[in-house]
């Protein structure tokens, strides 16, 4: 029985609390405004929450353009007109804006653009020139809380906390090397070890660490404006050197053999066909820095990496080599035939 009584008492207490809550809210939100309205025939007013910013106060940056809105309510019994003035300290922001508010109608809203000042500030909204005269001056003014905009030392509308150049205006926030320091305040924009001033003097690109694109950074490249030979190309040149040396040796042996065969057949220095002198003239073994013609084989013999030697095999020498080989084969065949005839016994 005692338990049931206690439960009833708890429920009764809860009901009383809930009823009190409803009565309080009804009195605060309904009875009081009605009483106020009944007490003033002409009453325009605004509140602190009726002043708002775009962008919001938490996103304001000193020096940027922002907009202030002010909403005016008519708490009286008759239609009323007035003007709204916004102040930053004693200074009027822009011009006063007219409002006309219907009794028991919708509120009227005005706005003014302004430049966010440096340092903490607040805004005062004031109703002026109210017609008919206002009966309640207590709600003719409202002040915003203190607002602290984000700092912007270089006035580029980028807050210092997110600006990659705090002391230099750079709204674009360009950062070529991605090191977090903007190009306008970075002494080495491409992070290649050379300052932008040095690169300007050398003629290289301060935004490209490898101006000539040869794989060497501008700082380590002895010729930063001319692509150097890559390791792959150097390997190919080495292979060409080996092949060219072999061709030179073969050509020299062929020339010696041709001269020897010409002397054996005629006992003279020159053959009847005049191959020796012509062949020697057409085979300059070595030329210094001579340009290579189409079809010529080039070789680089480079002890100091600065001197090059080139050679060529003239196409005119090839038919003469074939003639020498044919004559040699003919004489060899003839001698072999005669030797066999001498060794064969006659019947």
Q: Number of folded domains in the chain?
A: 2
Report the CATH number that the domain containing residue 94 is assigned in CATH: 2.60.40
The band of 252, judged by pLDDT with boundaries at 50, 70 and 90, is low
The size of the chain, in residues, is: 347
The band of 318, judged by pLDDT with boundaries at 50, 70 and 90, is low
Q: Which of 229, 174, 167, 171 is nearest to 196 (CA)?
A: 174
- Does any domain span residue 67? yes
For residue 56, give every residue at least 6 positions away whose Cβ sits within 8 Å of its Cβ, in sequence order, or none.
Answer: none
For 82-142, the three-class secondary structure string (H helix, E strand, C coil) is EEEEEEECCEECCCCEEEEECCCCCCEEEEEEEECCCCCECCEEEEEEEECCCCCHHHCEE
- Does any domain span residue 270? yes
Q: Which of 92, 46, 102 is nearest to 69 (CA)?
A: 46
- Does any domain span residue 323? yes
- Does any domain span residue 279? yes
Q: Is the pTM of this model over 0.75?
A: no
pLDDT single digits (tens) 105-117: 899 999 999 999 9
pLDDT single digits (tens) 48-79: 999 999 999 999 999 999 999 999 999 999 99
Specify burial of residue 305 (Cβ count, 10 A radius: 0-12, 13-18, 19+): exposed
Position 176 scores a pLDDT of 84
- How many CA within 13 A on the CB side of residue 178? 2
The band of 259, judged by pLDDT with boundaries at 50, 70 and 90, is low
Phi, psi values for residue 112, rounded to 5°: -140, 135
155: helix, strand or coil: coil
- Does any domain span residue 203? no
- Going from the C-alpha of 139 to that of each of 48, 109, 231, the distances in angstroms are 10, 16, 84
**Domain boundary, last residue among 143, 161, 176:** 143
- Does any domain span residue 90? yes
**Domain boundary, last residue among 101, 128, 143:** 143
Radius of gyration of the chain (CA): 52
Q: Are residues 335 and 237 in the same domain?
A: yes
Question: CA–CA separation, 96 vs 101, rounded Å?
Answer: 16
Q: Which of 59, 199, 41 is nearest to 186 (CA)?
A: 199
Tokens linked to 83:
């003007």
Position 27 scores a pLDDT of 54
Question: CA–CA separation, 43 vs 77, rounded Å?
Answer: 8
Question: CA–CA separation, 173 vs 166, rounded Å?
Answer: 11
- Does any domain span residue 336? yes
Tokens linked to 341:
């005839």
User: What domain range is 295 assigned to?
Assistant: 231-343
**Among 24-38, 49-63, 71-85, 293-307, the least confident range:** 293-307
- Does any domain span residue 241? yes
Q: From the CB of residue 86, how many other CB atoms can be counted at a distance below 10 Å?
A: 24
**Domain boundary, last residue among 127, 143, 159:** 143
Q: Is the pLDDT of residue 224 over 60?
A: yes
Question: CA–CA separation, 346 vs 52, rounded Å?
Answer: 136
**Average pLDDT of the chain?**
75
Tell me what the mean pLDDT of segment 84-93 comes to: 95
Q: From the CB of residue 304, how many other CB atoms can be counted at a distance below 10 Å?
A: 5
Position 258 scores a pLDDT of 57
97 and 125 Cβ atoms separated by less than 8 Å: no
């Amino acid at each position: 029985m005692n338990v049931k009584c206690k439960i009833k008492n708890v429920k009764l207490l809860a009901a009383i609390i809930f009823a009190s809550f409803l009565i309080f809210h009804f009195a605060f939100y309904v009875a009081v405004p009605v009483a106020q309205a009944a007490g003033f025939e002409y009453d325009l007013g605004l509140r602190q929450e009726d002043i708002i910013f775009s962008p919001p106060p938490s996103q304001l940056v000193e020096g940027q353009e922002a907009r202030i809105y002010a909403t005016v309510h008519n708490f009286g019994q008759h239609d009323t007109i007035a003007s709204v003035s916004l102040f930053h300290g004693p200074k009027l922001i822009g011009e006063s804006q007219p409002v006309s508010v219907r009794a028991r109608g919708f509120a009227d809203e005005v706005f003014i653009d302004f430049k966010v000042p440096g340092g903490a500030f607040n805004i005062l909204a004031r109703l002026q020139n109210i017609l008919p005269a206002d009966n309640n001056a207590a709600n003719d003014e409202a002040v915003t809380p203190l607002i602290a905009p984000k700092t912007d030392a270089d006035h580029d509308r980028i807050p210092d906390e997110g600006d990659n150049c705090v002391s230099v205006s750079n709204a674009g926030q360009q950062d070529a090397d991605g090191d977090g320091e903007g190009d306008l305040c970075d002494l080495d924009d491409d992070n290649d070890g050379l300052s932008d001033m040095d690169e300007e003097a050398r003629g290289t690109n301060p935004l490209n660490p490898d101006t000539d694109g040869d794989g060497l950074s501008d700082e380590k490249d002895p010729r930063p404006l001319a692509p150097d030979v890559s390791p792959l190309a150097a390997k190919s040149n080495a292979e060409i050197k080996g092949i060219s040396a072999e061709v030179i040796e073969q050509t020299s042996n062929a020339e010696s053999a041709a001269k020897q065969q010409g002397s054996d057949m005629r006992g003279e220095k020159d053959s009847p066909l005049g191959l020796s002198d012509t062949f020697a003239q057409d085979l300059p073994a070595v030329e210094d820095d001579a340009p290579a013609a189409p079809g010529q084989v080039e070789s680089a013999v480079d002890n100091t990496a600065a001197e090059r030697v080139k050679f060529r095999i003239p196409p005119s020498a090839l038919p003469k080599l074939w003639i020498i080989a044919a004559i040699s084969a003919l004489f060899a065949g003839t001698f072999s035939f005669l030797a066999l005839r001498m060794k064969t016994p006659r019947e």
